[in-house]
Structure 1
Amino acid sequence: MLTIHSLSKQYIEGSWRDGTSENTLIISNPYNKEVLSTIKMATIHDVDQAYKAALAAKEQWDKVNPYQKRTILEKAVHYIEQHEEEITEIIIDELGGTRLKAAFEIGLVKNMIKEAATFPLRMEGKILPSIEDNKENRLYRIPVGVVGVISPFNFPFFLSMKSVAPALGAGNGVVLKPHEETPVTGGTLIAKIFEEAGIPKGLLNVVVADIQEIGDTFVEHPIPRIISFTGSTKVGSHIGQVAIKNFKKPILELGGNSAFIIMDDADIDYAVNAATFSRFTHQGQICMSANRILVHKPIYQKFLKQYKEKVSSLKVGDPRDPETIIGPVVNDRQAANLQSIINKGVEQGASVLLEGKISGNMVEPTILTDVTPQMLIAQEELFGPVVCVIPFETEEEAIAIANDTRFGLSGAIHTSSIERGVEMAKKIHTGMIHVNDITINDEPIVAFGGENQSGIGRLNGQWSLDEFTTMKWISVNYGKRNFPY
């Protein structure tokens, strides 16, 4: 049976073991603070062993028939399906996710692995002509070698798997460092799934470590060729710089400040529901969440009335209750940060349309109005159930407000004129934007990634295959070249 306690070990070289650190990580339930388990932390030595194991096992993986690789990845999906209820319990207990959130995340994970399972059969090359007579140019798609993956706490199962599964499918070894808040859901659970699926021992390693102890070792280590990081823009900037300095390719999926635009010809009932889902799913702890709701002035008051009624109806509480929509944010520190941002917004002139109480890390929904684009609350990523609503008068103003951010991840536009929405979407500087839909979208075969300070690179489908492989040129001269001297 899968439990947090049974998965509270490091997974290195195909074995479950304690880390060699003197420090211990306590895993606790963010809702009721119950201690769930403990993990002995990893050290620099453990990280070194993990990377060496991944490199050695990658040579074994190279010898596995591509069809067999596909079968192994498909077995991982089957294992998840067999243990879906246990995985749901782990998501609820370790990160305070609701049952709705857990089902959503598990579905994303299964689809991602199914897509990655096609990669072994898509390692295609090319034969190209040459300017020289009797010569051909061969291009081989090959794995990069070893990939280091650093994942966040909000959707840890999926956002770890988003890089791990494609990297394995493309033929690489992997070392995964999950966030300390979610070492099981984002780390050791994934190790267990692929262990049961039958990958070579050591191909995937999970190290649970404190950055204060290992520093930049995970990124600087000479073995990994790619570092895939999902998390905050501040940390991502540092990781990207360290990676580049050490001649590694960074893939960065970072923060967002998505705008949800509602035009005066939109279906307001539908827009209210979509805006609510876009902001409050998983307590707003999603990089694609709608931070700013931009509403055309002719419908502004009507929207506010309906939106407040809808958001007020969301049940806050125990994530184990199937009726709960909003559970706890990840920790008290995050709740305190949200309170500080709300207070600053009010100081700068924002009005509280709906005031949510904050007790520990339980944060009830808060809606702020009279917000201007320059306020802190409109500029910062709001990683919690807090949202600001901003009116606009013209289409051009809506676009300008949407672009008034250093981020550029997602967005949404609601209008009865599809092509109007598409033309607006083209002018908004984001990696992704959705017409008459929610801001939270991720599909396994569609390019995913941000612009500006929301990230570098694209994942999913062909884009993941391109990111986790490289092209090698081998030329063959069937004759003899003529030399000038």
Structure 2
Amino acid sequence: MSSTRTAPSAPHRQNSGTPHSGIPTYLSLVDGKSVPGPEWVYVVDAGALLDDAFASLSLKRRLESGRPPAGDLPPSIVGRVAKADRETSARALEAASRAAPQWAALPQETRIGRFGALLHRRLREQAGEITRILVQEGHPLALARWQVSGMLECFGPESTGFYRDQMLQEFRHGARSISVRRRPDGVVCLNPPQNAPLSSALLGVTSVMAGNALVVRAPRSAPLGVMYVMHDVVAPVLEEVGAPPGTLGVLCGDPAPLLTQWLESPLVDDVMYFGSSSNGLRFQERCVAAGKKPILELAGNDVVVVWKDADLDLAAEALTESFYGSGQLCMIPNQVLAHPDVADELVALLARKAAHVRPGHPGEEDVLLTPVLRNEKFFDCLADALGKGAELVCGGHAMQADGTRDSAGIFLEPTVVLVRGMERAREVRAVRHETFFPLLPVVAAGPGPDEVLLDRFVDFVNSNAYGLRNSVWARDPGVVDRFVTRITRGGLLKVNDSHIGFLPYLPTHGGTGLTGGVFGEANYPILRTSHVQGVSVSPGSRPREAVFGAWQALQDAAR
């Protein structure tokens, strides 16, 4: 696989009449080759959008319609990506179908051990560049670093060792060698979300370790990071370990036609889909009808439980993660259930800490809030909560990048509302559903014996229609054990820890209910895109003994 990033004089350059001006340019990656497309998608620096959104978006529209300005492109244009047509997409699927059985035939140590180690090293080497591109696409610097840390954990030695153990277990039974192994499904297609496409695409790369071929769609809204990490990081590593061309395909295009093509193609086995719960569950039905395995990453509505003996300062600090990225991340805290003895103190601490979560340009060190371009749903959701008796603790206004309150501002203040009582808490929309805004409801439970409250807290968490991740803050080992053994919803449960921090072995995504659909569980793509097979190898057993041997042994023991 050769690198598919093109320089201004590269032979793949499309005759579009648009000047290169030295900007990073990516074509589709199909069968190990760069393939041009009929159109370009241009990427505008997120900082320039904050400074002058109208001018930046107008320039982007002119460029994509084939009307370039005179002279060189301004520095606000940070890259361009070829948009793939249907024929290019079909070729990518054909190449993946050819490559998958060849790649799967290579030893597991090559696909998991060597590939994982080399990819981890290259991600470490390119961490600064990946971070820079994420910031260009609008991720605050701190959250860009957070995403990179997750990528490194996903392919770190502890995690790859866990993947290796899960993919193959071997036993002896008499003269027989017995193994339980996972086999690749074949061709996996991945449709990442617009809010975190780069890290989501990398998550899907673990499906390649299982022996699958992978085709990734880079979203038009933020294609540069996906293209960079796939072309300049993943593809060279696959080439180094001897993967056949076609093991990785990368395209930029509109989601609807590509998803339809994947469902219609007999070459596709699995589809990884990121999106809203309503859209994802409908897509799940289409997958099943088409005979494809749906692997869904949908909305989250995570619960954080704060018990009466919790370290409230640390718990409040973890709860501010709800506001990271202005709440537009699926794995942040979305609702809090607090013990009545500490609810008011917790809310006061949380309000003080939330005041330090600030907006600004994504490249600034301490910025954690991102723009919310359409905020009317935030104010509707807040009005719903207040209309149903919730108390506004802090926030509730739009603001400018410098933190000044302004009804026309494109940032939102971190907002906390207090909901008193569990009985009708889910009548509040912000409690019942994910909001995707910096709006955190704290549900203060009513008084009662701790034994009763423990049961009610567990029931509250388990009755959440979503099931991405949950966390608990408590010190009493008996209380912790009660929560750990009885909370069954979700793909991840953390105790006395960051809600969003990454750890080896543990999944970053995946869950039950409206988060993962009917087939939802913790999402290790290497496992979700493979299937279990049992294998027995005998040097030559007598068949009749194999069939009736256990029964005969039982009779002999009875005598």
TM category (shorter chain) comes to 0.7 to 0.9
Structure 1 position 105, deviation (Å): 1.1
Asked if the contact 2:81/2:224 (under 8 Å) is kept, the reply is no
Asked if the contact 2:465/2:513 (under 8 Å) is kept, the reply is yes
Q: Which residue of 1 aligns with 2:499?
A: 439
- Are 2:202 and 1:156 equivalent residues in the alignment? no
Cα distance in 2 between the residues matched to 1:273 and 1:411: 16
SS of 2:427's equivalent in the other structure is coil
Amino acid at match of 1:157: L
Match of 1:182 among 222, 229, 236: 222
Asked if the contact 1:317/1:327 (under 8 Å) is kept, the reply is yes
Amino acid at match of 1:28: V
SS of 1:337's equivalent in the other structure is helix
Cα distance in 2 between the residues matched to 1:171 and 1:249: 16
TM-score (norm 1): 0.85
Q: Which residue of 1 aligns with 2:320?
A: 276
Structure 1 position 83, deviation (Å): 2.0
Structure 1 position 320, deviation (Å): 0.5
SS of 1:147's equivalent in the other structure is strand
Match of 2:392 among 328, 335, 352: 352
Distance 1:270 1:129, change over 3 A: closer
Match of 2:86 among 23, 31, 44: 44
Count of residues in correspondence between the two structures: 470
- Are 2:402 and 1:386 equivalent residues in the alignment? no
Larger deviation: 57-66 or 208-217?
57-66
Q: Which residue of 1 aligns with 2:183?
A: 142
Structure 1 position 309, deviation (Å): 1.0
Q: Which runs of 5+ in 2 are unaligned?
A: 7-21, 50-55, 57-76, 400-407, 545-559
Q: Which residue of 1 aligns with 2:430?
A: 377
SS of 2:295's equivalent in the other structure is strand
Asked if the contact 1:76/1:196 (under 8 Å) is kept, the reply is no
Q: Which residue of 2 aligns with 1:422?
A: 481
Structure 1 position 311, deviation (Å): 0.3
1:120-161 deviations in whole A, cap 9, x for unaligned? 78753657879xxx9998766432221112211333332222
Match of 1:17 among 35, 39, 64: 35
Asked if the contact 2:168/2:179 (under 8 Å) is kept, the reply is no
Amino acid at match of 1:81: R
Amino acid at match of 1:232: S
Distance 1:321 1:140, change over 3 A: closer
Amino acid at match of 1:306: L
Cα distance in 2 between the residues matched to 1:247 and 1:128: 36
Structure 1 position 204, deviation (Å): 0.5
1:313-353 deviations in whole A, cap 9, x for unaligned? 22211110112122334xx24x3433332233334343322
Cα distance in 2 between the residues matched to 1:178 and 1:241: 24
Structure 1 position 308, deviation (Å): 0.8
Cα distance in 2 between the residues matched to 1:8 and 1:136: 49
Distance 1:5 1:137, change over 3 A: same
Distance 1:48 1:443, change over 3 A: farther
Structure 1 position 369, deviation (Å): 2.4
Q: Which residue of 2 aligns with 1:112?
A: 154
Larger deviation: 98-107 or 108-117?
108-117
SS of 1:259's equivalent in the other structure is strand
- In percent, how many aligned pairs have the same letter? 21
Cα distance in 1 between the residues matched to 2:128 and 2:429: 41
Q: Structure 1 segments of 4 or more deviating over 6 A?
A: 1-4, 127-130, 134-139, 474-477, 479-482
Larger deviation: 304-313 or 388-397?
388-397
TM-score (norm 2): 0.75
SS of 2:342's equivalent in the other structure is helix
Asked if the contact 1:408/1:429 (under 8 Å) is kept, the reply is no
Structure 1 position 117, deviation (Å): 5.2
1:28-61 deviations in whole A, cap 9, x for unaligned? 3445424444434223322211111112223442
Match of 2:288 among 236, 244, 248: 244
Asked if the contact 1:353/1:366 (under 8 Å) is kept, the reply is yes
Structure 1 position 90, deviation (Å): 0.6
Distance 1:361 1:76, change over 3 A: farther
